[in-house]
């Protein structure tokens, strides 16, 4: 595998001014303005390989958007190096973005008063896509995303989900090698999200398109991404496989037991009963202290067990643990 | 490269026209309002010249010529570069991201991606005025000067809009600078003297937008003609330079939109 993006020691400092509350302080700040320097990125480095779907995770203000913007060529970083698809985004912008697709979840990218199909045709000319290529790609995507009818209604009359799908189509028409999705599923319902994810997976498989996704939706990450990068306070705190972080960080497992006949209250060291009623017990096991096997044995010998389910805690829990830990390091 | 940009420009014009058709009543009202605005202005100067005959050597015909140039350059730039007065807003609200994500010259793309077709009202008005006051012999000179004025107007818009890169919320300031320049340009050049005149031919280029072209059409002067052309090149270069300088300071933005 060859890496398609290399980021080295990327830093970005924003200059903002601060003042205390009230009118008098507002007037004072006219003459004596105090500036504050906010380090949005404190020197991050990472690499991304071709054909990957990478999840970019972090709390609000962690530096996700700034990273995406630097990767898109939207802003000049304070220092550091980015080579993406062989280009420096903010220097070779035009050549670079010809191979790039960007979907900004919170921003308008379609012509509000026109049917989406008009925006698609504009994209065709802006990117200089050949008519035949354009037609076949458009048909392929429109069919998959169920847009045949919708794309002929003005964008302003579309639902949020329809609009988001159309934005995705507009960003993919020129068959970009790299696609940056900044909170693409914001505001979508469950069904729309599902379609969206399936579509991204399919495009990734069919065209070897590399995707970088920022999102707060951990299900999305679990469904789409093998690799994740976690960023907090402008620093990367984890860069690796999703399953590795689970392994590394998982000290707990959940055991759900269903009983044939009523059972006594469950009690065992290093186990926490999360919930228990007559026919069900839910236990959280600290696997660093006690083996799951031991717990199961205890359960089997003490109860008339009908069914057992062992599961990992959801990825949300792990991420929360990371963000809450003091240094934020994994 | 150039052909491709022209093609994109053409496609945007078509899109803008379709958009205008979406709201056709609004479209018609705006065109009529523009024409009404122009007619009121003409009536004012008709009354004025009826009483005073001439202002520092300028007669009614010169004034109509000036207005032909202004309405044409204002109208043409509205139609073909309809975003010229929205640069500050686009920068300030982080909307520039949209353009930066597309493989076209940013400034060009911003300017052409909108078209105010009601500017057609001005264009038609300007053409009618030109028919009335212009001799056929000076037609080519007139066209060149209209293009020069259009370029200067655009440059002023780019320069004032680029303030948003450096000072943040510059939407109102930028608009005032543009409209101020335009209104200074809508009086006879002969009313300005000395330092004022010098300023209007340098820092605030109102003189080159309308006054100098009218003087040139009255009596051609090669030196002033080339000075005008040179000035167009200079101010346009400065405007583009300032815009791209500012772009380096662009920090995008996270303004939340309902529109996505």
| pLDDT tens per residue across span B197-223 | 888 888 889 899 999 999 999 889 999
Q: Examine the predicted complex and report whether its ipTM is higher than 0.90.
A: no
Domain that holds residue B220: 2-247
Confidence at residue A62, expressed as pLDDT on a 0 to 100 scale:
84
- Give tens-digit pLDDT for B220-232: 999 999 999 999 9
Give the range with max mean pLDDT: A297-311, B26-40, B74-88, B187-201: B74-88
pLDDT band at B257 (very low <50, low <70, confident <90, very high): very low
Between CA A161 and CA A319 the distance in angstroms is 27
pLDDT band at B254 (very low <50, low <70, confident <90, very high): low
**Among A residues 111-140, those touching chain B with beta carbons less than 8 Å apart:** 111-114, 118, 121-122, 125-128
Confidence at residue B259, expressed as pLDDT on a 0 to 100 scale:
45
Cβ–Cβ gap A114/B260 under 8 Å: no
Residues from chain B contacting residue A154 (CB–CB below 8 Å): 22
Confidence at residue A220, expressed as pLDDT on a 0 to 100 scale:
85
Q: How many domains does chain B have?
A: 1
Between CA A155 and CA B245 the distance in angstroms is 35
pLDDT band at B145 (very low <50, low <70, confident <90, very high): very high
In a domain, B157, yes or no: yes
Confidence at residue A1, expressed as pLDDT on a 0 to 100 scale:
61
Q: Domain A3-13+42-246 falls in which CATH fold?
A: Rossmann fold (3.40.50)
In a domain, B159, yes or no: yes
Query: Is B24 in the A-facing interface, judged by CB distances under 8 Å?
Result: no
Lowest mean pLDDT segment, chosen from A22-31, A45-54, B126-135, B155-164:
A22-31
| Alpha helices (runs of H) in A208-291, residue ranges in sequence order | 218-224, 242-249
In a domain, B49, yes or no: yes
Do B119 and B82 contact (CB within 8 A), yes or no?
yes
In a domain, B252, yes or no: no
Cβ–Cβ gap A72/B250 under 8 Å: no
Mean pLDDT by 10 residues, chain A (330 residues): 88 82 79 82 93 89 88 91 93 93 81 87 91 93 90 89 89 93 83 88 93 87 90 89 79 86 83 87 87 89 89 76 62
Confidence at residue B198, expressed as pLDDT on a 0 to 100 scale:
87
What percent of chain B has a predicted confidence (pLDDT) above 70? 97
Q: Looking at the structure, give the CATH architecture of the domain made up of residues A251-311.
A: 2-Layer Sandwich (3.30)
**Among B residues 70-99, those touching chain A with beta carbons less than 8 Å apart:** 94-98
Domain layout of chain A by residue ranges: 3-13+42-246, 251-311
Average per-residue pLDDT for chain B: 89
Confidence at residue A61, expressed as pLDDT on a 0 to 100 scale:
80
Under 8 Å CB-to-CB from A147, ≥6 apart: which residues? A116, A141, A162, A165, A166, A169
Residues from chain B contacting residue A75 (CB–CB below 8 Å): 250-252
Do A279 and A258 contact (CB within 8 A), yes or no?
yes
Instruction: Choose the mutation target among A79, A126, A188 for the interface with B, i.e. most B CBs under 10 Å.
Output: A126
Residue B34: pLDDT over 90: no
Residue B75: pLDDT over 90: yes
Confidence at residue B260, expressed as pLDDT on a 0 to 100 scale:
44
Which chain B residue has its CA at the smallest distance from A125's CA? B8
In a domain, B253, yes or no: no
Do B176 and B97 contact (CB within 8 A), yes or no?
no
Confidence at residue B255, expressed as pLDDT on a 0 to 100 scale:
52
Measured in angstroms, the CA of B93 and the nearest CA of chain A are apart by: 10
Quick one: three-class SS letters along chain A?
A: CCEEEEEEEEEEEEEEEECCCCHHHHHHHHHCCEEEEEEEEEEEEEEEECCCEEEEECCCCCCHHHHHHHHHCCCCCCEEEEEECCECCCCCHHHHHCCEEEEECCCCCCCCCCEHHHHHHHHHHHHCCCHHHHHHHHHHHHHHHCCCCHHHCEHHHCCHHHHHHHHHHHHHCCCCCEEEEECCCCCCCHHHHHHHHHHHHHHHHHHCCEEEEECCCHHHHHHHCCEEEEEECCEEEEEEEHHHHHHHHCCEEEEEEEECCCCCCCCCCCEEEEEEECCEEEEEEECCCCCHHHHHHHHHHHCCEEEEEEECCCHHHHHHHHHHCCCCCC
- Give tens-digit pLDDT for B84-103: 999 999 998 888 988 999 99
């Amino acid at each position: 595998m060859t890496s398609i993006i290399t980021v080295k020691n990327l830093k970005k400092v924003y200059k903002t001014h601060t003042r205390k509350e009230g009118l008098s302080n507002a007037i004072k700040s006219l003459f004596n303005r105090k500036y504050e320097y906010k380090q949005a990125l404190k020197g991050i480095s990472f690499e991304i390989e071709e054909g990957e779907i990478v999840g970019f995770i972090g709390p609000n203000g962690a530096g996700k958007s700034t990273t995406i913007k630097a990767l898109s060529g939207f802003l000049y970083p304070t220092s550091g190096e980015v080579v993406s698809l062989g280009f420096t985004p903010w220097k070779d912008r035009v050549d670079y973005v010809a191979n790039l697709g960007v979907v900004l979840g919170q921003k308008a990218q379609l012509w509000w008063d026109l049917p989406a199909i008009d925006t698609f045709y504009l994209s065709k000319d802006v990117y200089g896509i050949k008519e035949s290529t354009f037609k076949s790609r458009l048909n392929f995507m429109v069919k998959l995303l169920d847009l045949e009818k919708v794309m002929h209604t003005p964008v302003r009359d579309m639902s949020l989900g329809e609009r988001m799908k159309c934005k995705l189509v507009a960003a993919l028409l020129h068959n970009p090698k790299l696609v940056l999705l900044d909170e693409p599923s914001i505001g979508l319902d469950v069904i729309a999200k599902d379609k969206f994810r399936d579509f991204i997976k399919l495009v990734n498989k069919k065209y070897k398109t590399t995707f970088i996704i920022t999102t707060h939706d951990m299900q999305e990450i679990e469904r789409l991404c093998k690799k994740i990068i976690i960023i907090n306070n402008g620093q990367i705190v984890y860069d690796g496989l999703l399953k590795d972080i689970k392994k590394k960080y998982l000290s707990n497992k959940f055991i759900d037991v269903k009983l044939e006949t009523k059972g006594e209250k469950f009690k065992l060291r290093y186990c926490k009963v999360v919930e228990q009623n007559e026919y069900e017990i839910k236990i959280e096991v600290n696997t660093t202290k006690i083996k799951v096997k031991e717990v199961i044995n205890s359960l089997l010998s003490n109860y008339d067990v009908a069914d057992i389910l062992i599961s990992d805690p959801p990825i949300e829990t792990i991420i929360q643990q990371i963000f809450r830990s003091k240094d934020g390091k994994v | 490269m150039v052909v491709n940009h022209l093609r994109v420009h053409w496609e945007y014009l078509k899109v803008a026209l379709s958009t205008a058709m979406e709201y056709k009543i609004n479209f018609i009202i705006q065109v009529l309002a523009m024409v009404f605005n122009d007619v009121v202005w003409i009536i004012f100067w008709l009354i004025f010249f009826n009483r005073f005959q001439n202002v520092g050597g300028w007669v009614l015909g010169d004034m109509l010529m000036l207005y032909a140039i202004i309405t044409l350059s204002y109208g043409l730039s509205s139609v073909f570069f309809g975003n010229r007065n929205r640069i500050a807003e686009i920068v300030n609200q982080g909307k520039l991201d949209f353009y930066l994500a597309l493989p076209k010259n940013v400034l060009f793309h911003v300017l052409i991606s909108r078209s105010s077709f009601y500017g057609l009202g001005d264009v038609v008005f300007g053409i009618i005025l030109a028919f009335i006051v212009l001799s056929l012999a000076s037609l080519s000179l007139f066209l060149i000067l209209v293009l020069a004025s259009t370029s200067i107007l655009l440059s002023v818009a780019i320069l004032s809009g680029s303030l948003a890169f450096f000072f943040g919320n510059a939407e109102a300031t930028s608009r005032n600078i543009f409209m101020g320049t335009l209104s200074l340009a809508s009086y006879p050049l002969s009313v300005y003297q000395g330092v004022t005149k010098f300023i209007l031919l340098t820092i605030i280029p109102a003189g080159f937008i309308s006054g100098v072209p009218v003087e040139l059409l009255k009596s051609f002067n090669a030196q002033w003609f080339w000075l005008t052309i040179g000035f167009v090149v200079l101010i346009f270069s400065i405007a583009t330079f300032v815009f791209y300088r500012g772009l380096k300071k662009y920090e995008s933005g996270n303004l939340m939109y309902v529109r996505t």
